[in-house]
Chain A
Amino acid sequence: MAAATKETAGFDPRRRRALKELASYCAGAAAITAFLAGVSGLSRPLPAATLRPPGALPEPEFQSACVRCGLCVRACPYKTLKLAELGDGPAAGTPYFLARSVPCEMCDDIPCVKACPTGALDHALVDIEKARMGVANLVGRDTCLNMQGLRCDVCYRVCPLIDKAITLQMTHNARTSKHAIFEPVVHPDACTGCGKCEKACVLETAAIRVLPLDLARGAHDAHYKRGWEEKKKAGQELVPGIIDLPDRLPSLPGAPK
């Protein structure tokens, strides 16, 4: 009797079984999605020592674009680029290089970018000097030979953009008080992050290192406006009629007031 009532109420064991099955498959699919999301989360952000090829999109976009085909690796004439293994740091199968092992030689025709089928390496990059693979940083200010008053200069000499990306800045050597220190200074607006300086550093542990952009560079707050730039843009005083008070210059004793 009870069974009959159920039947009349529209109970269909086959339908119920199908619904159960559907539910379990949906749950399985959700579990797989969660697993893949977890796995993809392991590989970002990019570890500090690993650099992307020239023209690589910023890291999150890069991982939506790179199909891990290895065509950039094949195109690289210097065997700089490698495909990441599980555990290397970058997402498995994506291209990267280690500046200290094989730096980027900055080919004029940028074959790796041309080979990229998806645009994970941005085809808009045609001038290799505009590449921003990372930025060199003098992390070993205390170990760098130049900073100790010696004339190593190797990072400066090997820089493909010598006197633009790295300059030597002369300061007083307080230790000897009669010599100079030629400090290697990196200019992030010119540095491509090729890694030749890091490769060439004569110390066993490099004093100058190329780091990925997001780690190596600060950023201005988007809302922050610099008065002197705004003034130049406007071509006039931003607040007209503001009184410019006289600058107080240090005066020498005995000088006329």
Chain B
Amino acid sequence: MSKVRNPGAEARKLHGTLTASRWLIARRLSQLAFFLLFASGPWFGVWIAKGTLSSSMTFDVLPLTDPLVFLQALLAGHKPEMLAILGAAIVLAAYALINGRVYCSWVCPINPVTDLAAWARRRLDIQKGWNLKPKARYFVLAAVLAAAALTGTIAFELINPITTLYRGLLFGVSWGLLGAMLIFLFDLFVARNGWCGHVCPVGAFYSLVNTTGLLRVSASGRARCDDCMDCYAVCPEMHVISPALKGEQAGVSPIIANRDCTACGRCIDVCPEQVFRFTYRFDDRVDTTTPSQKQAAGALENAA
């Protein structure tokens, strides 16, 4: 397997930079929008969502509570008020309906940090590093829940880099950036896609929720795949691609069914053959009609 240092270059050449970056741009805008919902109050005096990602109140009517923090409070022995119960139920229902890991790639403020680390890692050609299994995160999740039950405190919230970063930016807690910086260094030098793909207990929790979500990526054009490996190079959860992309002979659905898929859509962006697309869970149509983009481009060149 040749290393892909600049994945998506071919797609950008074939389809234009905007098309080959559309989901990446959409995701950055989404992450910014979620942050601004919270930041517009303390920064500009326009109050939309008060609080942080661990618990918030939007327009004084919509309570939202992080279900993992809620679960830790329960395990720590606290009986929460209705507001938190309602808030956690709404969040859980929304992610169960859409796709649990959407939180990771479309909302979480750590995602741009780890994306940047992954990009730098490719550019600097740093070796894969510490070979953690993707399932390691479930052990971290178990450890976090055990700590809550044993200590009777929401212990993980002391160091949770996601809520700490939001708190830091929204409440001026200066340590907020430290966790994000450590994660950047961890992802850059220790383990590839280390935090989001192997360690983060919040991601692990949302992976567990991600069994019923409707939003999926489908490798519907897998017949066109020419093994350029660009999708593997950008995917933060590489193990999710193969079953769908290479499952034609085995009769496996082209839908990426693995619960670790964060529906970030980066594979859709970088694929020069436009093999992938967003769709709903039950749409296992396979698209074999379209000819290879590269063949078409080659034909054009030959004709000219």
Contacts and interface: CB of A to CB of B under 8 A. Distances in A.
A60 B152 contact: yes
Nearest to B157: A68
A123 B164 CA distance: 26
Given A64-B154, A68-B54, A117 B83 contact: yes
Contacts of B66: 67
Contacts of A87: 175
Nearest to A42: B158
Contacts of A92: 157-159, 164, 173, 175
Contacts of A33: 143-144, 146-147, 150
Contact of A118 (B41, B73, B140, B171): B73
B167 A68 contact: yes
Contact of A83 (B57, B65, B136, B173): B173
A88 to B, nearest CB: 9
A21 B157 contact: no
Contacts of B157: 67-68, 92-93
Contacts of A68: 52, 54, 154, 157, 163, 167
Contact of B65 (A64, A67, A93): A67
B77 A64 contact: yes
Given A63-B76, A92-B175, 6 more contacts: A26-B139, A36-B144, A41-B151, A63-B153, A66-B154, A93-B163
Contact of B57 (A29, A43, A44, A71): A71
Interface of A: 21, 25-26, 28-33, 36-37, 39-41, 43-44, 60-61, 63-71, 73-75, 82-83, 85-87, 91-93, 115-120, 123
B221 interface: no
Nearest to A122: B81
B266 interface: no
A120 B80 CA distance: 8
Contacts of A118: 55, 65, 73, 78, 80-81, 83-84
A85 B159 contact: no
Centre residue among A41, A43, A64, A91 by max chain B CB count within 10 A: A64
A25 B139 contact: yes
Q: How large is the interface on B (under 10, 10 to 19, 20 to 34, 35 or more residues)?
A: 35 or more
29 contacts: A28-B140, A29-B139, A29-B140, A32-B140, A32-B147, A36-B156, A60-B153, A63-B76, A64-B76, A64-B154, A67-B54, A67-B55, A67-B69, A67-B73, A67-B154, A68-B52, A69-B51, A69-B56, A70-B51, A74-B50, A85-B175, A92-B157, A93-B157, A116-B83, A117-B55, A117-B65, A117-B84, A118-B65, A119-B78
Contact of B73 (A25, A30, A64, A115): A64
A29 B173 contact: no
A120 B87 CA distance: 15
Interface of B: 41, 50-52, 54-57, 63, 65-66, 69-70, 73, 76-81, 83-84, 87, 133, 135-136, 139-140, 142-144, 146-148, 150-159, 163-164, 167, 170-171, 173-175
B51 A74 contact: yes
B73 A71 contact: no
A36 B170 contact: no
A40 B153 contact: yes
B66 to A, nearest CB: 7
Nearest to A64: B76
Contacts of A31: 143
